[in-house]
Amino acid sequence: MARASREPLSIYLAGPLFTQAERLWNRELATALEEALGCKVALPQDIPVDERKPKRQRFGAIFRSCIEGLDACDVLVAVVDGADADSGTAFEMGYAYAIGKPVVAVRTDYRRQQEKGTNLMLSRGCHGFVHVPAPQEGVGSVAAKIAREVERVVRTHRSRK
């Protein structure tokens, strides 16, 4: 979804990134969204980290980079899979909501919680929600559903301005 006479849509993709499987899913989803929407997707897992410094000395820079990415994006897409959504993702959702950025949550997990399979504070803070619990869905079909929801949310958000 290219914007007339402006840069392409910018998405910040938040989600857990602690395992190889999570990082691979994030990368595949980002690529599929870029193809489906003609957009640019920022992944927090791509923040350059200087491995020579002890971890604690990097935390401030990582935090600032994530905030800058959220400030710069047009929309946040947040993966809220798991028995409970990743705490960093939950923070990013709350921050985006507080600064007026549209938030689209994505849940591929079939476990149920309070509302839409997740904590109601997260589901109610979203402008859009994509729930795809079917195990046969591949990343391409999930990305297509997210792309449609992102387009709807961005269109609605712009019309309110």
Given a cut of 90, is residue 44 above it in pLDDT? yes
**Would residue 2 count as lying in a domain?**
no
pLDDT at 26: 96
Sign of CA dihedral 7, 8, 9, 13: negative
Domain count, the chain: 1
**Would residue 4 count as lying in a domain?**
no
Q: What is the pTM of this model?
A: 0.88
**Would residue 82 count as lying in a domain?**
yes
Range of the structural domain that residue 84 is part of: 10-159
pLDDT at 2: 42
**Would residue 88 count as lying in a domain?**
yes
**Would residue 135 count as lying in a domain?**
yes
Of the candidates 17, 19, 22, 69, the residue with the CA atom closest to the CA atom of residue 45: 17
Q: What confidence tens digit (pLDDT) does each residue in 128-141 have?
A: 999 988 776 789 99
20: part of which helix (H) or strand (E)? helix 20-37
Half-sphere exposure of 101 (CA within 13 A, CB side): 26
Q: How far apart are CA 77 and CA 110, in angstroms?
A: 19
Q: What confidence tens digit (pLDDT) does each residue in 46-72 have?
A: 987 766 665 777 888 889 999 999 999
pLDDT at 1: 42
Q: What does the DSSP 8-state code read for residue 3?
A: P
Whole-number mean pLDDT of the chain?
A: 88
pLDDT at 3: 45
pLDDT at 89: 96
CB-CB neighbours of 155 under 10 Å: 11
**Would residue 123 count as lying in a domain?**
yes
Q: How far apart are CA 73 and CA 14, in angstroms?
A: 12
**Would residue 84 count as lying in a domain?**
yes
Q: Are 101 and 76 in contact (CB under 8 A)?
A: yes
Q: What confidence tens digit (pLDDT) does each residue in 80-95 have?
A: 998 889 999 999 999 9
**Would residue 48 count as lying in a domain?**
yes
CATH of the domain at 150: 3.40.50.450
